[in-house]
Amino acid sequence: MDFSYTILIPLIPLALFLILGLFSKKIPASISGWLGSLGLGTSFALSLYTAYHYFMDGKLEGVYQTFIYKQTWLVFTDKLHIDLGVMVDPISVMMMVVVTSVSFMVHLYSRGYMHGDDGYTRFFSYLALFSFSMLGLVMATNLFQMYIFWELVGASSFLLIGYYYTKPSAVAAAKKAFIVTRFADLGFLIGILLISYYTGTFDFQDLTSQEGMLIAGWGASASFMGLSVFTWGLILIYMGGVGKSAMLPFHIWLPDAMEGPTPVSALIHAATMVVAGVYLVARLFPAFYFVDGGFALQVVAYVGAISSLVAALIAITQTDIKRILAFSTMSQIGYMMLALGVSKYEGHEGLGYMASMFHLFTHAMFKALLFLGAGSVIHAVHSNYMKDMGSLRKYMPITHITFLIAALSIAGFPGFAGFFSKDEILVAAFENNKLIYYSSVLVAGLTAFYMFRLYFNIFWGEDRKYKHTPHESPLSMTIPLIFLAFMSIAGGYIPFSQFVTADLMPFEAHLNIPLAAIASSVGIIGIIIAFIFYKKPSELSKKFSNAFGVIYTFIYNKLYFDELYLFVTKKILFGIVAFSASWFDKNVVDGSMIGIGNVTVSVANKIKGMQSGKLQDYAMSFVGGIVVIAMVVFYIWIN
Amino acid sequence: MIAGISIYDILTLTSILFFIGVYGFFTRENLITVLMSVELILNASAVNFVLINTYLYPDLLQGAVFSIFIIALAAAETALAIAIIINLYKLIYSVEVKDTETMKY
């Protein structure tokens, strides 16, 4: 079987980026939107074909094979070299489909949403650059290639968040996102260097094979503070994933990143880039699972569980609809992380892994839909805040219905995609870690509540006096909504356990009826509470939040994480460390150099009088010198 | 070989001539007289060449030839120096040594 044509999937967006980026002034907006959509449409079709081809014929004796096409790029030693290439295996194929489908939908949608914007072509070139980087990331054959694309993804995310570069808040948000993720990526880089130094390879296949240095040899490796060096390496690599996936404590950039255009939030900060961390852990899953008895995997599980709970709590209190969705994203990614964290390796035991990938897939669909729906609402009322919205169901029927479908899906309402994937996650958590299970059930309830708080506030509630009567978005924006709404239902019926598993062997997964019943009833309770609070304008919710007082304020301010970071950076880093370092630099380092210069100048000032410019003085010194030399020579000669 | 006059007498004469030239070079304020002092120095050395040739190696001619070289050299040098001085005069209307001290530091 030959999958070498998959290289085209990332190369088409790259070509688009070059064309649109280089000739952004010359290509009229009417062409660039279509060109971008067409290119991504081709990539999407190719990915679908790849998926079909791979999942139908990719098995050998019941095990999915991995196909690798690569080219050696940089050679350090015979064993340690950096390759560039494409890797075709179940998760990369699945991610190709996710990335290209959401990207294609976002391209179509942006034609309507960005209509009339000055940087229309520039916007599409950035989108293409992002799609290229993300596809390169998911198809990477080795850690280093992944790292390269990881950074490219970060850079294109920076460009897109800061797309409205005349707005100071957008510029600040872009910088914040870049710096926070960059800081986390430092851990990633150190992790890569550690692992590759001790195992002598970057290759994913070598790193995850049972006989490889990493898994077979961790017992013999050096240890540091009671843990194997490999565990430290994996935890540091996971730190990069924490940054990109906006897990605690590196989540602070994600809410601010909502300053970018809404289609960007849908593409990058909901469906694709933020799941890169999940993908990274899934990619190295055998290593996480086997090294040191899965200590690193425990870290993944708890970080995911805590992040999902904290983010769900914060989401309840926010008023900016995009920020609510941002925290919801963080919470759902926490779900995926904890599912990976509680997973085991073989067969049905590897349910968590499958559930995580399944949820990644369904989440990409319904969260992209939620963002695009929110974008449609923002497009209509020109505000991000819930207080400016209400009763929009009368004006925007398609947005209303699709948004409702997405909200039901994320709330885990039976029959929708989110219900199936969430159920698998809860089953996996229930079987392996009760504590995490209880917290995720709680999160399921909270998710349903804040999602329907959002839904009722936008589409029901008070009828506002709108300056311009809101109207339904154009067809270019509603078609992607309808497609994604379809996927938010149909996505759940894909038999994922047949396709994506930890040990590459398909297994049968069944709906666990009791657990599913518990989870969905918790979700429905959340929906009902939201219905009582927000269906009609009422003071009930205000009374309720007042009852919580301090705790409410604490959560409303996002647990003061931003303030904590500001304190650490401004007061401690800038105030003490940087201040004393700059004092040392100015006074000791610069001081010694400036001192040398000053001494030279002052000495020169003292002796420059010797250069009098008087010819006869020079002649005098010349003759005098000769006389002295002659006397010395005579003296020596005489003796 | 000149009868009745020893080599020391003539060497004394040329030494005096030389140091008069050096003294003039150091102390004169006019560029033309400085140039004349240089001529004195050159002439003293030219006489010395002839003298030593005559007294020590009477059958050779190198010393005399060298003195002719020195005369030619002095002529060329004077021509050049006069040209410089004339240009200087055109520029600053002065041939005083103290007015040519601007090229310092």
With a cut of 80, say whether residue A536 has pLDDT above it. no
With a cut of 90, say whether residue A633 has pLDDT above it. yes
Cα A231 from chain centroid (whole Å): 23
Distance CA A426, CA A437 (A): 6
pLDDT at A625: 94
Specify the DSSP class assigned to residue A473: P
In chain A, the residue whose alpha carbon lies closest to the alpha carbon of B23 is A620
For the four alpha carbons of A579, A580, A586 and A590, in that order, the dihedral sign comes to negative
Nearest by Cα to A357 from A171, A98, A112, A574: A98
Least reliable range by pLDDT among A257-271, A379-393, A440-454 = A379-393
pLDDT, one tens digit per residue, over A544-596 is 777 777 777 777 777 777 788 888 877 887 878 888 888 998 889 999 999 99
Distance CA A253, CA A173 (A): 7
Nearest by Cα to A556 from A570, A567, A541: A541
Q: Which residues of B touch A623 (CB under 8 A)?
A: 22
Q: Is B102 exposed, middle or buried (0-12, 13-18, 19+ CB in 10 A)?
A: exposed
Where do we find the tokens 């460390």? A577
Count CA atoms closer than 13 A to A431's CA, side-chain side. 16
pLDDT at A230: 84
Q: Measure CB to CB from residue B25 to each of A612, A614, A619 and give the nearest one.
A: A619
What confidence category does residue A252 fall into, taking pLDDT thresholds of 50, 70 and 90? confident
The verdict on a CB contact (< 8 Å) between A613 and B101 is yes
Q: Measure CB to CB from residue B26 to each of A608, A613, A620 and give the nearest one.
A: A620
What confidence category does residue B103 fall into, taking pLDDT thresholds of 50, 70 and 90? low
pLDDT, one tens digit per residue, over A324-374 is 889 999 999 998 898 888 888 877 778 888 888 999 999 998 899 999 888
Share of chain B above pLDDT 90, in %: 56
Reduced to 3 states (helix: H, G, I; strand: E, B; else coil), residue A87 is strand
The verdict on a CB contact (< 8 Å) between B105 and A611 is yes
Q: Is A160 exposed, middle or buried (0-12, 13-18, 19+ CB in 10 A)?
A: buried
pLDDT at A219: 67
For the four alpha carbons of A346, A348, A351 and A354, in that order, the dihedral sign comes to positive
A310-343 burial code (b ≥16 CB/10 A, e <16): bbbbbbbbbeebbbbbbbbbbbbbbbbbbbbbbb
Least reliable range by pLDDT among A148-157, A159-168, A263-272, A467-476 = A467-476
Q: Measure CB to CB from residue A613 to each of B22, B26, B104 and give the nearest one.
A: B104
With a cut of 90, say whether residue A521 has pLDDT above it. no
Where do we find the tokens 């996102």? A177
Q: Which of A614, A616, A623, A626 to mutate to test the interface with B (most CBs of B within 10 A)?
A: A616
Specify the DSSP class assigned to residue A162: T
Average pLDDT over residues A20-30: 82
pLDDT at A248: 81
pLDDT averaged over every residue in chain A: 85
With a cut of 70, say whether residue A378 has pLDDT above it. yes
pLDDT at A597: 93
Q: Are A126 and A162 in contact (CB under 8 A)?
A: no
Distance CA A266, CA A247 (A): 18
The verdict on a CB contact (< 8 Å) between B103 and A613 is yes
Q: Which of B19, B23, B26 to mutate to test the interface with A (most CBs of A within 10 A)?
A: B26
This model of the complex carries an ipTM of 0.78
Average pLDDT over residues A392-419: 86
Distance CA A440, CA A308 (A): 8
pLDDT at B78: 93
Distance CA B51, CA A495 (A): 123
Per CB distance under 8 Å, which residues of B are interface residues toward A? 22, 25-27, 34, 97-98, 100-105
Beta pairing class for A223-224 and A227-228: antiparallel
Specify the DSSP class assigned to residue B96: B
A524 versus A394: which is more confidently predicted? A524
A571-595 burial code (b ≥16 CB/10 A, e <16): eeeeeeeeeeeeeeeeeeeeeeeee
pLDDT at B67: 92
How much is the CA Rg of chain B, to the nearest whole Å? 17
Q: Which residues of B touch A620 (CB under 8 A)?
A: 26
The verdict on a CB contact (< 8 Å) between B102 and A613 is yes
For the four alpha carbons of A136, A142, A148 and A153, in that order, the dihedral sign comes to positive
Q: Which residues of A touch B26 (CB under 8 A)?
A: 616, 619-620
Q: Are A274 and A326 in contact (CB under 8 A)?
A: no
Count of beta carbons in the 10 Å neighbourhood of residue A58:
22
Specify the DSSP class assigned to residue A570: I
In chain A, the residue whose alpha carbon lies closest to the alpha carbon of B27 is A616
pLDDT, one tens digit per residue, over B39-90 is 999 999 999 999 988 888 888 888 889 999 999 999 999 999 999 999 989 9
Least reliable range by pLDDT among A130-139, A210-219, A450-459 = A210-219
Q: Which residues of A touch B27 (CB under 8 A)?
A: 616
Q: Which of A605, A608, A615, A627 to mutate to test the interface with B (most CBs of B within 10 A)?
A: A615
In chain A, the residue whose alpha carbon lies closest to the alpha carbon of B25 is A616
The verdict on a CB contact (< 8 Å) between A616 and B25 is yes
Q: Which residues of B touch A616 (CB under 8 A)?
A: 25-27, 34, 97
Per CB distance under 8 Å, which residues of A are interface residues toward B? 608, 611-616, 619-620, 623
The verdict on a CB contact (< 8 Å) between A619 and B105 is no
pLDDT at A376: 87
Count of beta carbons in the 10 Å neighbourhood of residue A470:
21
Q: Which residues of B touch A612 (CB under 8 A)?
A: 101, 104
pLDDT averaged over every residue in chain B: 89
A273 versus A294: which is more confidently predicted? A273
Q: Which residues of B touch A613 (CB under 8 A)?
A: 100-105
Q: Measure CB to CB from residue B101 to each of A608, A614, A623 and give the nearest one.
A: A614
Reduced to 3 states (helix: H, G, I; strand: E, B; else coil), residue A320 is strand
Q: Is A135 exposed, middle or buried (0-12, 13-18, 19+ CB in 10 A)?
A: buried
Cα A522 from chain centroid (whole Å): 29
Distance CA A361, CA A550 (A): 38
pLDDT at A495: 83
Distance CA A158, CA A170 (A): 10
Q: Are A310 and A252 in contact (CB under 8 A)?
A: no
Distance CA A440, CA A157 (A): 30
Q: Is A65 left (phi over 0), alpha (psi -120 to 50) or beta?
A: beta
Q: Measure CB to CB from residue A615 to each of B22, B27, B97 and give the nearest one.
A: B97
Give me the architecture of the B7-104 domain, per CATH. Orthogonal Bundle (1.10)
Query: How many Å lie between the alpha carbon of B102 and the closest alpha carbon of chain A?
Result: 6
Reduced to 3 states (helix: H, G, I; strand: E, B; else coil), residue A433 is coil
Count CA atoms closer than 13 A to B92's CA, side-chain side. 12
The verdict on a CB contact (< 8 Å) between A608 and B105 is yes
Note every long-range contact of B22-28, with CB atoms under 8 Å and residues 24 or more positions apart, other chains counting: B22/A623, B25/A616, B25/A619, B26/A616, B26/A619, B26/A620, B27/A616, B28/B97
Number of Cβ pairs < 8 A linking chain A and chain B: 26
